[in-house]
Amino acid sequence: MNHLLSLCVCVFSRLESKVALLESQQRGELEDMRQEKNRLQVTLQLYIYAAIEALERQLRAASSNSTALQRQQEQLMESVHTLVNMVTSIVSLYIKGEHVWRDCADVYRAGHSTSGLYHIYVTNRTQPVQVFCDMETAGGGWTLFQRRSNGSVDFQRSWRDYKMMNTSTNYI
């Protein structure tokens, strides 16, 4: 019986060491799994943050594009309204029987041969502009600009001023 008891103690001792070894291995594997889980969580968070940041950038770009498109649409609408007003003005002049000239050459071709002030319709303007038409020099039909419509520049200059094109002075 002693022998049996000693054999049982020996087997039990071996089992305990194998169990201790297995427990130690499991703890190591469990620790490795925890570390791997933590690493994967950090990696996943980085990917999520990067994806959110990229989506926010795309959203800002789309919003900016939308704002730019709205601005362009407003500008186009203003242009359309201006063109409609211009066409309406010109059509009403034709209906009234008034003349619509683009420049003094049109005035000259319409049979006017006297130099003087005439109203012409400049592109992109709804109202006529009063200009001086020279109907005698070099065959007539010359449109003369002597100053800006706002009066900021006087075009009454000598040929030398124009020929030298003094860059400090605005001629156009």
Examine residue 68 and state whether it is found in any structural domain, yes or no.
yes
- Higher-confidence position of 162 and 14: 14
Residue 154 lies in a domain: yes
User: How many structural domains compose the chain?
Assistant: 2
Tokens of 75: 């500008």
Helix (H, G, I), strand (E, B) or coil at 130: strand
CATH code, 145: 3.90.215.10
Instruction: State residue 16's pLDDT score.
Output: 92
**Of 56, 77, 98, which closes a domain?**
98
**64 and 126 co-located in one domain:** no
Is 116 part of any domain? yes
Between 130 and 29, whose confidence is greater? Answer: 29
Q: Are residues 60 and 131 in the same domain?
A: no
In a domain, 114, yes or no: yes
Place of tokens 């709804």: 126
Question: Are residues 92 and 144 located together in one domain of the fold?
Answer: no
Query: Are residue 92 and residue 25 in the same domain, yes or no?
Result: yes
Higher pLDDT, 46 or 4: 46
The number of angstroms, rounded, from the C-alpha of 27 to the middle of its chain's C-alpha atoms is 61
* Cα 98 from Cα 149, distance rounded (Å): 23
* pLDDT for res 121: 81
* CA-to-CA dists, residue 47 to 35, 40, 51, 97, angstroms: 18, 10, 6, 74
Looking at the structure, tell me whether residues 35 and 54 fall in a common domain.
yes
Express as a percent the part of the chain with pLDDT over 70: 78
**Pair 111, 38 in one domain:** no
Question: What average pLDDT does this structure show over 118-144?
Answer: 84
**DSSP H or E run through 120:** strand 116-120
Q: Which amino acid does the sequence have at 2?
A: N
Question: Residue 121 CB: number of other CB atoms within 10 A?
Answer: 20
Quick one: average pLDDT of 89-95?
64
| Structural domain that includes position 13 | 1-98
Helix (H) or strand (E) holding 131: strand 129-134
Same domain, 4 and 14: yes
pLDDT of 172 above 50: no
Same domain, 129 and 147: yes
Is the pLDDT reported for residue 167 higher than 80?
no
Asked if residue 171 is part of any domain, the answer here is no
Average pLDDT, the chain: 82
Q: How confident is the model at residue 151 (pLDDT cuts 50, 70, 90)?
A: low
Note whether residue 170 is domain-resident: no
The mean per-residue pLDDT over the stretch 69-89 comes to: 86
> Residue 7: what pLDDT?
84
Better-scored residue on pLDDT, 168 or 163: 163
107 in any annotated domain? yes
At which of 98, 114, 143 does a domain end?
A: 98
* Complete edge-to-edge strand list for the sheet that includes strand 129-134: 116-120, 129-134, 142-144
Note whether residue 143 is domain-resident: yes
Give me the mean pLDDT over the 134-146 stretch. Answer: 86
Q: What is the pLDDT of residues 41-60, one digit of tens each?
A: 999 999 999 999 999 999 99
* Same domain flag for 122 and 81: no
